[in-house]
Amino acid sequence: MRLQAFLARAGAAPSRRKAERPILEGRVTVNGEKATLGATVTPQDEVRFDGRPVRLPKTKIYLALNKPPGYLTTMNDDRGRPTVAHLMPEVPGLIPAGRLDADTTGLLILTNDGDLAHRITHPSSEIDKQYRLTLENPVPSVALAELASGPTLEDGKMRPPGISNLSRAGKTTSLDLTIHEGRNRIIRRACLAVGLALLTLHRTRVGPVILGDLPAGEYRALTPDELEALQ
């Protein structure tokens, strides 16, 4: 695997991107030689960061978090803002499998298994994700139809999402939206494109993993059945 990915999975760097700088600064060695950006390593190689050995975790961890609002989906923030790392146990190499923006709440899977994280996030896996949307009324039927057909966004047409469990109450309308792609802020941008005012966005499911009644800010281990279905 690439050295940047190795450092991130081992917990020596908060992300692959942030592993680049110490490599360029000459702080990382592979088998006694200064490493180069983009180098490939195996678990058998001797990797050191500032002279300390770096190893991949032997135990793989799979956790589901109910992310509250206001937390960034990253394990480290240079500006000191709250991140999901503050809600999780200290596990070397733990990374989020996908992203939720700071205002979006709900299910986030975190793991130190880089292969599974890649499978969950890669478009070819087509793992569906379900969200509960709260919209400000009025919510015209024509706007819902445009949303269901997949609006055209600045980075291409959205694949038609599934819409279910629509209910109206007073000043708001709620519905479940199921998507099969993970482009940045795609639901928020889709609502804006069809003229819908999105008030809250809450992820309730990722493939076979259902958030259920897990309290906000709490996490649980994935069940063996959930893990098998994801893999």
DSSP codes joined into one string, 117-149: HHHHHSGGG---EEEEEEEESP--HHHHHHHHH
CB 135, CB 198: distance < 8 Å: yes
Q: What is the length of the chain?
A: 231
Q: Which three-class secondary structure state does DSSP give residue 35?
A: coil
229: enclosing H helix or E strand: helix 224-230
- Which positions are catalytic? 101
Looking at residue 5, the DSSP 8-state letter turns out to be H
Cβ count near 52 (within 10 Å) = 8
First to last CA, the chain: 20
